[in-house]
Homo-oligomer: A and B are copies of this chain.
């Protein structure tokens, strides 16, 4: 529900102060290093960041993945070492960013959201991921300790695909592509859910169905807020004239942009479909009401006049003559009853109610 994460915590502080805004993390932040070139490969878990940043090798691509942006001191240390602007550092630790791209001449800064659908909690999970792409290195800052990058890591380890032949810019593209691919996965999940929901809707819609539709709509609002800015961001990135991006990478970024537009298209189409489902639900409620009313009206309009007839014959008039004659009861009474019922039925048939 909350579209704004405790931004107000920052209120009392000068713009230049680093303060982590987001879900509090208990664990210590960890740093993973991956260094590779055409022929070499090195992976180091939990390394000390200041040490490894001291000398960044220029002939290999080095990826520093930092998990845990709540460790503000660490982020500050990295910033000092690499000469990052303090606004960059603030954006990294403040986890409410909109996807954006900024070119600070000596490095490129990107921030976006990684999404996954937690099938256990039946919840959409979102995490901020920031990229700092400099000469020969790529820094990534994760908010949480899960990510969608294992595929890319495997590719580096196994020397698969084009990744080894390119530099850090291509690595950044590969990571962005992994994030966007995950958006597809989430939309597939929602597509399946909606298919189930539609079957439910057409067979036996309940208030529960409505709540499910409502939750999907809410998740789509969140998805939209997350994915739309990415389009603009990738567009800017792809047409940026920084020397840090090879022209081959630009071509791949255009491809990632195409994928993002596909995701947006699919999302918008799904939003339309969900609106349609809501209409179906509402009109099925109306139809149900109609059929309930029909039954009530049928029963009432048949039996209320009949009861009136029995009421007449139940009156205590001493002088009601017909009550005395024997043929009246079995014939006269039942003739009245049957005639009345038949007329009513005929009327209902004519009005298409049976």
Residues of A that sit less than 8 Å from B by CB: 1-4, 6-8, 10-17, 85-87, 90-91, 96-98, 100, 102, 151, 154-155, 160-163, 173-174, 177-178, 181-182, 184-185, 187-188, 191-192, 194-195, 198, 202, 204, 207, 210-211, 214, 217-218, 221-222, 224-225, 229, 251-252, 254-255, 258, 261-263, 265-266, 269-270, 272-273, 276, 278-297, 299-301, 303-308, 310-320, 323-326, 328-329, 333, 351-353
Contacts and interface: CB of A to CB of B under 8 A. Distances in A.
Given A17-B160, A102-B254, 14 more contacts: A4-B188, A4-B262, A7-B184, A7-B185, A15-B161, A15-B174, A214-B280, A289-B289, A289-B290, A293-B293, A295-B301, A308-B310, A314-B314, A314-B316
A97 to B, nearest CB: 7
Given A4-B188, A87-B255, A323 B328 contact: no
Contact of A98 (B7, B188, B265, B291): B265
A161 B280 CA distance: 50
B8 A181 contact: yes
- What is the copy number of this chain in the assembly? 5
Given A282-B283, A307-B304, A98 B258 contact: yes
> Interface of chain A, helix or strand or loop or mixed?
helix
A4 B329 contact: no
Contact of A181 (B7, B17, B162): B7
Nearest to A293: B292
A255 to B, nearest CB: 5
Given A3-B187, A87-B252, A315-B316, A15 B265 contact: no
B290 A288 contact: yes
15 contacts: A3-B270, A7-B188, A8-B181, A13-B151, A14-B151, A14-B162, A286-B286, A286-B289, A289-B293, A293-B296, A299-B304, A300-B300, A300-B304, A310-B315, A320-B329
